[in-house]
């Protein structure tokens, strides 16, 4: 049986598809890659949160799966809705890459400016940045990583925020210096749930669990359960990261922020985790006890009125 691997057409998505293909072929599967345009790629003029609640980058591939046009959909797992369409499942995860966010600057005076212009298409990154630097101005930034880098160069912005793994996998990091750019890590910014993880979604009749990276899968289950209980998706500034330690120990940090970054609800816990989904849900419940549900309800109202 030849497995048809569906993927978005961006260079990063193709990199992910080839990684998934290599893992599948190492395990005896014959494969072919089928590139498909997603709605999120086609509508670059709108902020991500205006394109639909969740799944804007994955919906087209999900439809292809349901219609039996492909057998495996390969995604950046942070883009995949926590509730999948009927008949579909998260079948496997590749080994996790670096989960951290970085910001890229193009001037030596960045750190001496009183007010700067920062570009990002992510509500989470926007809110975390404003939490630390409330005087800065945030502007929207869309497109694949190559296009976003070029937009940073072409516009009168001071910096833009990216996922480290995306630039590393696209082999862009080493090119930044030649473009007059520098990158810096953001240690206070909690990454999006599943950031750095490549996931393979299949129909229920295909089981790839035997090739899944167990640490990445466990982290994904925790982080996605945390997000699902909070009902965040792309419409609220929510960060969640589970660091897998030895002996079933997990170190978890979850954060919910208001859109302007002024309000922050946080949970930090290290525990022995036998049931990842239960643990992620419990971490969300702790945030809800601190007022996260009310905050998210207010955020959704603000976005609908914008």
Tokens read off for 274: 């036998």
Asked whether residue 190 is domain-assigned, the answer is no
Residue 143 has a pLDDT of 85
pLDDT of 285 over the 70 cut:
yes
Question: Looking at residue 264, which CATH number applies to its domain?
Answer: 3.30.160.40
User: Are residues 112 and 84 part of one domain?
Assistant: no
Count of C-beta atoms within a 10 Å radius of residue 69 = 13
Note down the domain range covering 82. Answer: 1-94+197-212
Asked whether residue 192 is domain-assigned, the answer is no
Catalytic residue among 79, 98, 101, 248: 79
User: Are residues 282 and 221 part of one domain?
Assistant: yes
Reply yes or no on whether 41 is catalytic. Answer: no
Asked whether residue 191 is domain-assigned, the answer is no
User: Are residues 125 and 85 part of one domain?
Assistant: no
User: Are residues 78 and 120 part of one domain?
Assistant: no
User: Are residues 129 and 87 part of one domain?
Assistant: no
The tally of domains found in the chain comes to: 3
User: Are residues 205 and 78 part of one domain?
Assistant: yes
User: Are residues 49 and 1 part of one domain?
Assistant: yes
Asked whether residue 47 is domain-assigned, the answer is yes
Condensed to tens digits (0 to 9), the pLDDT of residues 39-65 reads 543 443 444 344 343 455 578 888 889
Condensed to tens digits (0 to 9), the pLDDT of residues 69-126 reads 999 999 999 989 898 888 999 999 999 999 999 999 998 899 999 999 999 999 999 9
Tokens read off for 114: 């009183």
User: Are residues 296 and 223 part of one domain?
Assistant: yes
pTM comes to 0.91
The rounded distance, in Å, linking the Cα atoms of 282 and 285 is: 5
Residue 304 has a pLDDT of 83
Residue in 234, 289, 229 with CA at minimum distance from that of residue 46: 234
pLDDT of 233 over the 60 cut:
no
Say if residues 169 and 128 touch (Cβ distance below 8 Å): no
């Amino acid at each position: 049986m030849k497995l048809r691997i569906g993927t978005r057409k961006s260079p990063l998505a193709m990199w992910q598809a080839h990684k998934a293909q290599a893992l599948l072929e190492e395990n005896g599967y014959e494969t072919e890659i089928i590139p498909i345009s997603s709605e999120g790629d086609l509508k670059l003029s709108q902020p991500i949160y205006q394109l639909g609640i969740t799944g804007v980058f994955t919906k087209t591939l999900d439809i292809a799966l349901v219609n039996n046009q492909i057998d495996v959909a390969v995604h950046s797992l942070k883009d995949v809705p926590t509730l999948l369409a009927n008949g579909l499942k998260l079948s496997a995860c590749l080994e996790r890459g670096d989960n951290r966010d970085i910001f890229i600057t193009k001037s030596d005076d960045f750190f001496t400016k009183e007010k700067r212009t920062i570009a990002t298409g992510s509500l989470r990154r926007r809110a975390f940045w404003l939490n630390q630097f409330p005087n800065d101005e945030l502007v929207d930034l869309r497109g694949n990583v190559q296009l976003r880098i070029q937009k940073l160069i072409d516009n009168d912005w001071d910096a833009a925020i990216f996922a480290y793994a995306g630039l590393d996998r696209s082999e862009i990091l080493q090119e930044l210096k030649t473009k007059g750019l520098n990158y810096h890590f953001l240690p206070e910014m909690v990454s999006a749930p599943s950031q750095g993880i490549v996931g393979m979604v299949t129909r229920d009749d295909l089981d790839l669990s035997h090739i899944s990276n167990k640490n990445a899968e466990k982290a994904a289950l925790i982080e996605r359960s945390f997000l699902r209980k909070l009902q965040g998706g792309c419409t609220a500034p929510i960060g969640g990261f589970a660091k897998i330690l030895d002996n079933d120990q997990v170190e978890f940090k979850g954060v919910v922020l208001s859109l302007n970054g002024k309000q922050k609800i946080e949970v930090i816990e290290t525990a022995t985790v036998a049931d990842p989904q239960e643990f992620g849900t419990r971490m969300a419940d702790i945030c809800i006890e601190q007022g996260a549900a009310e905050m998210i309800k207010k955020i959704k109202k603000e976005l609908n009125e914008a």
